[in-house]
Structure 1
């Protein structure tokens, strides 16, 4: 234990939902090896960024890289503390036991989307990418009445599981652990988007040294197996 560190220190943070399961595992492991307590709340990415922007007394934030760029520009995070955590791709899900449509190529995926009763995606980076993709394909207006956007913090897979959405798109890490759905694959390589999720210390942090040590653990090789287990690649 470092000089001056007490067992009462607690690192607090906020993250988007994509890294929720991963961070839960890594927080538990870090507590076991360090004795430090870490509490990270996972919410919708827009809400997480808003809370940091508002100056909430949080120690760390974990968000998509572009969201951290905006927080850095606003002076809300310490740019020198920033680490790249994971790279994450978008996957596709249907309700458990449903027929698996063809998604192996860009053309096949476009046809499957056009044939779907409803299409669900999130308010996060994957949803923004899909919106641009539908525009590029020239189908945005055709499918607009069938689009269901999950509220911030609500996994798209939940909408799929309860039958609100026939075809759901979200980060693999957010789909792979949910019951009641089948993950049928990832976006084809030609249209796949890889989102980098990063972490940084908030300027409002009261535990800078402890937070820096935790981020070092998140970026270390020791954290890599957990990242892979949760459908992401170490960044």
Structure 2
């Protein structure tokens, strides 16, 4: 885990509850759906790139079950709907009830039957899709993260100095189907750091591919504003 990250208000549920309280008011009063970058510090371009990666690597014809962790206002899942993925195969979770309320309201206004649930991902198993068998544990073909791991990594550390994000990769490995894909976009972790954290024996994940990002040069060092990396669960 990146030891240089320090706890921030961006890693608290109280902060996000206040953000989404304001977002809901704006949507109800003027129809403002909220800005992607306002929620997860990424622009709409990152959403488009993630949608493109899914369409390039997970055929719509396979009707994959998709879970977004920390769905916020639902922008990424709406993008998948617009790309042709069935809304009834998409699900989004967020630990902020306000985010869930906003995403449901926007989905309803667009006529999308996407499932959104309030869920503490590190401590609760996300509900399965309504049309699938009620398994003890719902497993997913595709899992997506757009800034959620970043926020968790900014949460308060425990008495031993461990970040709650330490448990996150194992949760992904547990909930992803054999052969399934996990795509994460982060602005706090580099591609190499994400590979080290997620491609482990514990998770059963291996590096699959990356989303090419615009590169900038500053002080003679080349880099990208954020990283998008895909992993695959090793088939049993």
TM-score by length of 2: 0.31
Flag the structure with more relative contact order, 1 or 2, with Cα contacts below 8 A and sequence separation at least 6: 1
| TM norm structure 1 | 0.31
